[in-house]
A and B are shown apart, each in its own frame.
Chain A
Amino acid sequence: MSNKLHTEDLIRKRLEGAELSPSPESWSAIQRKLRWPQFLRFYPGRFNIYYLGVLLIAATTLVLLVAVNRDRGELPVQEKETTAISPIEASREEALKASEKKTSGENNTKENSPDASHSPLTKKAAPGQETISRSTETGKEEESSREPQENMNMPVVIFPNTTAEQEQAAPPVTYFTSSVQSGCAPLRVQFTDQSVNASSHHWDFGTGEESSEPNPEYVFKEPGRYMVSLSTTNHSSLETISRLLIEVADRPVADFQIEEGLKGIDNHVVLNLVNYSSDASLFEWCLVDESAANCSAWSSGEQQPNLELKAITPDSRSVRLKVISEYGCIDTTTMPLPLVVQSSDTRIKFANAFSPNPSGPGDGSFVPGSKRLDLFYPIYIEVPVEFHMRVFTRRGEQIFETREIYQGWDGYIFQEPAPGDVYVWMAEGKWTDGLSFSLRGDVTLVWNKNW
């Protein structure tokens, strides 16, 4: 050798840029070690303790708000909302009765609720919409009744120290409908005013936001129960109020991670789908192809399924998770697959060179998963159900044949070392999914003196 190297140079030259393959467990070990620290830190793209904190604070605030709102609402909120809608005519009748009462001599009526005996339908339903009325002049707020009434849109009109004009002015009758009364956050609701004699509108959505439009559309972004109220005023500043409860259910959050793992007797690679979703009761997993339009091939309803590599088709690009909450609210998320299967052939690979053990022939069998440089054999990500490999010399003589995947060619022909040369191999077989492969190639045999 002409170029003699110092020990340092030798080590440096040979080992700089050297590569070693870590065992497949390393990646999952790293992810396992990362789980807690990553949960405790803030990452925008990951569910972590900060998001959890925000969620908790939001939930607490909501609970408090609802509690405060309940205290304020003069009426105990009914658990079940019925959408009983009284015809406006009914309210007019009632209003008429009310004014009749008034005209029959009660000049300073403070409370004038249509009492239960006047309404034959009172006990039939318990609607959440309630109507009260108050005098804007006295500022005194009066309740119509503590009992929920069937004719919920019935305004109660209070006539303060009546003057002649006020007596003649028709009182406003406040009533409104909503497109929906419950749904998943964010919930878009169209409110429609059905009031009579209203000249101005004031909506309070129970969220701190207000509107003066006659028919507003409002989006409830956060889950919760909201008492929506509409107050209308007529030309004589008489004001009546109507209320309706809107329920907004929590939307579940779909979240998961893909971790690589090993399974089965031959330790084949699987993908573990680790579920981090919240507020979900049903799960729908599927493999999504490149166009992201179809859920193809594989799907599962398990909470944390394993995804076997053989289920992955060449089109598969990502995994989609759809979660459904107990209220029927839905959320979906998609994660890219960490690997792509190009075809059935990419599940198996052959080396293009090997260097037999010079000390003598062996039987060519090896331990699954071991890395042997002295044998010619394929590596694969899934064990084929059928396998047949043959090796030929360049002249076409068959020198090796096996139907056993755990057996390779040791580089010997009839116990004699095969000459260092290029050899042709052919391999065919079948995968568990029924697809078959038929491959050929060449391999260079090198006798390494430094073995």
Chain B
Amino acid sequence: MTVATQGVNRAPRPSSLADVLEIVLDKGIVIDAYVRVAVVGIELLTIDARVVIASVDTYLRFAEAVNRLDLQPTKQVSGLPGMMDEITESSAEQKTKGALSGVKDTAKDVFTSVTGSGSEEEGEQASSKRKEPAKRGSRASKSSASSDEEG
């Protein structure tokens, strides 16, 4: 970042490893239901728990914030000409829930996926391997679209 041609701060990939994993584990073309090709997974049990804890933590934080919030500056409040009157609770709710179940699904999905690819066990593993990619394959057509659609 010394003599950059343009002064734009653009990172080649997300700085957080969680965001990187969200991309590479949840998106991308899935090779489904073949005999010798498989998808091996990372164990991500902790992510599931972390998401639940994080959301409760957020709820409590906002509950407290709205309690503390000084609602006096009504000038400012009424000054915003009701520009978002039509907040649709249902869509927000859907979004949050969708997000949570989406991540859960991923963690579970990943956890149950086949690990290792020992060629010496090729024969006995072949049948179990075949099932796993098939399941992922059925999700694939969806997940290549917007992730918001899932859940």
Verify that A and B bind, or say they do not: no
